[in-house]
Amino acid sequence: MSKVKPYISSGDTIRALIYEAKEKFPTNAAFKVKEKGEIKTITFINMIKDVETLGTELTALGLDGNRMGIIGENSYPWYNCFLSIVCGGNVAVPFDKGLTVEELVQCVQRSDIKVFFYDEKHAATVEQIKAQCADDIKYFRITGEDNDLDAMRLAGELKMKSGDRSYLERPVNRSDLAVFIFTSGTTSTSKVVMLTHDNITSNVVDMHHSMLFFHPDDVNMAFLPFHHAFGLVGVLVFMAAGACAVFCDGLKYVQKNLQEYGVTVFVGVPLIVESLYNKIMKQVEKQGKMGTVKKGLKIAAALEKVGIKARRKIFAEIIDKLGGKLKLIICGAASLNEEVGRGLNNFGITTVQGYGLTETSPVLAAERPWDLCAGSVGLPMRSVKIVIDSPDENGIGEIVVWGPNVMHGYYQQPEATDEVIKNGWFYTGDLGRIDEKGRLWICGRKKNVIVMKNGKNIFPEELETLIGDLPYVSENMIFTREKHNELVLWVKIVYDKTYLDAQDLDKDAFVDLVKKDLNAINDTLPTYKYVNHFILSEEPMIMTTTMKVKRNLEMKAIDEKWDETQQYNVTK
């Protein structure tokens, strides 16, 4: 990263945060976007103008004091709408673009929005929603030819030139609600998390204090969807540092976009990071350069012992495959493969893992560049306290947290709120332990714990991580079935067919390989954790949009498709 001392925001509302960034970095690029194949720069001055003009028109239309929904691909117009909403004291409600029409209708009705912004790609979906939702919702298309957003900004600009300051003078306080975010899950079981300005900005400031590696010359790829707290707040983190946000053209263009935008920071989920790493390592292996890489790692380690950091120079060819400027990867939402984390760090790309929830705005803990420990999620954020409730003999218990980033509550669900917030402490539902250096280790979800008939607890995530390291495993899920009044562990494995083709394995040979590998994993475990049976599938599992398995729906699918001929015993 740049050696320039990082700037730490002091904003206590989102409006204060972005205006502070504009004063500090007026001509810096806040966003870079593609228009007809050309990259266009939007400075902080331009961005604030767009926020103010759109906000002024919304006020003139009498739409203040409302909740306003947004749906669409990550884009500058999307984020412009978000900032205009919250900087005017209104509440933004980002909708998951992966939901069905029926699910979106439920979300619109549950959140009681009065304004709905949508992009051109979701125009047909919104037309279906209109027919089923309240007539008093105002709809505005924000992209495409003759979109409403351009016209609204122009109308707002004319009003401001005539002296209209109604939007600019609207009070916005740190305790005001800023965002409603739906948790993962089906709409019937999801909750609506209410986050205040202080919840979000305290987390942004914490990130700056705790990380100290965000700089005005950074370029951040805003890859995670904006309906996800990690994606939404992540842009604010870099914006508060005077850094630039850019957008990905799609999964298959990630490497290309990293290069053309000169991306220095990538924030993503492990699935994407692991895919990038594995793709590059396959290229290295195909080119017969694994020996050179291993030699380079030894040289880099030896040089570091005498204070010389040369990893980025030694592995410049690998870094070039990731655009040439990538220096930092931040992973969240799930556990990053330890080998991938170590590998990227060894190449000189600082790769850290963090932990958080929508309810905590979102970050609770993260590794620091100077304290990397593969497998852990690092130390708590500066203003966050983390304790382990009712730890067992291994120090594992429920993760309970306190901090200014803990949500205001669940919308219209006071009982659900009281279940998780007690005396100001938030009970995460996650299980973890804290090591002797204060680092947090995640062990699994409390609700996923399997209690065997002998009273032993099994964390399925632990076994899934081990099985997930097998080269042919795309996804896997541990589950149980009862046999002779005992619970028996099974695993469903979604395998990569291209691996079988590359290794020239037929089905019988592949089954034998899986048996051998699962037996090898069992040999490292106590007997009560043995995986005894497995099923194989080429069909992807049922996932949330943040790539977490929907276990209840997946189990229902397994039961419905149960086929005795496709079950295999793990035997020596």
- Which residues are bridge partners to 482 per DSSP? 487
Under DSSP, the state recorded for 66 is S
- Domains and their CATH numbers in the chain: 14-199+219-247 (3.40.50.12780), 266-446 (3.40.50.12780), 449-569 (3.30.300.30)
Buried b (16+ CB within 10 A) or exposed e, 466-487: bbbebebbbbbbbbbeeeeeeb
- Give the type of residue at 429: G
The residue whose two tokens read 């992966």 is 98
With beta carbons less than 8 A apart as the criterion, state whether 322 and 280 touch.
yes
Average pLDDT along the chain, 572 residues, taken 10 residues at a time: 53 93 96 92 98 98 96 97 98 93 93 96 95 92 96 98 96 96 69 96 90 84 92 94 94 90 91 86 88 93 92 92 92 81 92 93 92 90 95 92 97 95 95 95 85 77 90 92 81 92 91 94 90 92 77 86 81 64
Q: Which two tokens stand for residue 329?
A: 């990867």
- pTM (2 d.p.): 0.84
Cα dihedral 94, 99, 102, 108, rounded to 10, equals: 0
Question: Distances in Å between the alpha carbon of 451 and those of 185, 210, 479, 527?
Answer: 24, 37, 12, 14
3-state secondary structure of 55: helix
Phi, psi (rounded to 5 degrees) for 337? -55, 125
Q: Output Rg (C-alpha) for the chain, integer angstroms.
A: 25
At residue 353, φ and ψ (nearest 5 deg) are -115, 140
Residue 122: DSSP 8-state: G
3-state secondary structure of 268: strand
Would residue 390 be called left, alpha or beta, if left means φ above 0 and alpha means ψ between -120 and 50 degrees? left
Task: State whether the Cα torsion 96-100-102-103 is positive or negative.
Answer: negative
Residue 245: which of 30, 8, 80 has the closest Cα?
Answer: 30
pLDDT score for 211: 66
C-alpha distances in Å from residue 371, one per residue of 273, 335, 362, 379, 502: 20, 18, 21, 9, 39
Q: Which 8-state DSSP code applies to residue 191?
A: -
Q: Distance (Å, rounded) from C-alpha 425 to C-alpha 164?
A: 44
Question: Hey, is 274 helix, strand or coil?
Answer: helix
Which of these, 487, 477, 464, 460, lies nearest to 555 by C-alpha position? 477
